[in-house]
Amino acid sequence: MTKVKSTTKKGFMDGYKTYDPEVEGYGNSSQWKKSFNFRMGYDEAKSILSDENPYSILGIFKNATMSEIKKAYYKMAMKFHPDKNPGIDTTEMMQKINAAYTILISK
């Protein structure tokens, strides 16, 4: 007897159940991937920052290149990541960092 190989390629999360707080339970991997790849919209980012300068939040100059913007974003995201700072509520700062990055890459 010969084994037949499956031709469908599986992703790393296929078959795993992941927790979905909106459903208050575990969802499938495609739902998790969809929510993971969600990006903040420009209008939502503008409303989060209101009058704040996105350049000052990321600590860069206005003439920064795209690579400098990305480096500053990753640096600030690591600095204020909730896993790196247990016990400190970093949610608001992470939202501002994500909003600033969204606005700057949209230009």
- The answer to whether the beta carbons of residues 65 and 105 sit under 8 Å apart is no
Structural contact between residues 98 and 81, judged by C-beta atoms closer than 8 angstroms: no
3-state helix, strand, coil in the chain (%, to 5): 50, 5, 45
Sequence ranges of the domains in the chain: 42-106
Span 63-106, pLDDT tens digits: 999 999 999 999 998 898 877 877 777 888 988 999 999 999 88
Pick the CATH number of 42-106 from 3.30.200.20, 3.40.50.970, 1.10.287.110, 3.40.50.920: 1.10.287.110
The pTM (predicted TM-score) of the whole model is 0.64
pLDDT in tens, 3-14: 555 555 555 555
